[in-house]
Amino acid sequence: MAKIGFIGTGIMGQPMAANLQKAGHQLFLSEHHGKAPQALIDAGAIALANPQQVAQEAEFIIVMVPDTPQVEDVLFRADGVAAGLSPNKVVIDMSSISPTATKAFAAKINETGAQYLDAPVSGGEVGAKAGTLSIMIGGEPQTFERALPLFQAMGKNITLVGGNGDGQTAKVANQIIVALNIQAVAEALLFASKNGADPAKVREALMGGFASSKILEVHGERMIKGTFDPGFRINLHQKDLNLALAGAKELGINLPNTAGTQQVFSTCTAIGGGNWDHSALIKGLEHMANFSIRDK
């Protein structure tokens, strides 16, 4: 059994934390931004006042918050994680944030004698609940080996990509692929429906060919049924594509299709859809076409 601090128990974090409990680990939660989930407390988690206290109690400290500024705050505020660290403790950031910032955060944490892993995830709320997340990790191999049982409680496809920052780089690459695939499926279904074909039947036909994909299977069905309750919100995917585009600017490369998909997400946000599931990208295309595949 490991003593694990878990900071960030939202849509993704709470089921991830619950899976660590099911694997027999002791959890410590921070209430610096609000009450800890009662379900985790009932299962044995201990609530503490702030991240510093969590870091003092735990051997591993996992952070799962929305964006780069929140990670920086949790780690380096006056009563943050860094203030409670001692040598050989391990900080694991499972948020999806800037690779550049991650390298700076890791350097500061490593200076304390603790170790740092960046370990963003893919698989959404469904994967978080099922314990089947893909986890992309940056850090030292020996630190990765220490933390591996924790990752195995939360995910299935677990890869040490390289050094600090490389996990976040892999996650940004993942989000580029997912976004562009969502746009491809949305454009295909919009084209088919506008041309008079039944989009559900088109999807069924495509599932048997080279165009088949998890996006077509899961998000294609959501697009057809109009079930856009968030598993992964558009505004969070926009954040990830902003990281991609900012990184591309730093590297002096062009990501034209990523930029185009971001514009469609921006259309969704402009019509009130920032909190829709990212499969609702199709609604941005429908808005521009003045046509809905669900109105036939």
Q: Region 69-89: what's the mean pLDDT?
A: 98
Q: Quick check: 94 and 63 in contact, CB under 8 A? A: yes
Q: Of the candidates 116, 175, 126, which has an alpha carbon nearest to the alpha carbon of residue 155? A: 126
Percent of the chain with pLDDT over 70: 100
- Residue 258: the pLDDT is 98
The answer on pLDDT for 210 being more than 80 is yes
Q: Name the pLDDT band for 296 (thresholds 50, 70, 90).
A: low
To the query of whether residue 171 is one of the catalytic residues in this protein, the response is yes
- Of 108, 171, 194, 214, the catalytic one is 171
Domain assignments of the chain as residue spans, ordered by start: 3-162, 170-289
Name the CATH superfamily for 3-162: NAD(P)-binding Rossmann-like Domain (3.40.50.720)
The CATH number of domain 170-289 is 1.10.1040.10: yes
What the block records as the tokens of 118 is: 């960046």
Looking at residue 124, its pLDDT comes to 85
State whether the Cα torsion 53-58-64-70 is positive or negative. positive
Residue 125 is predicted with a pLDDT of 87
148-198 confidence digits (pLDDT tens): 999 999 999 999 999 999 999 999 999 999 999 999 999 999 999 999 999
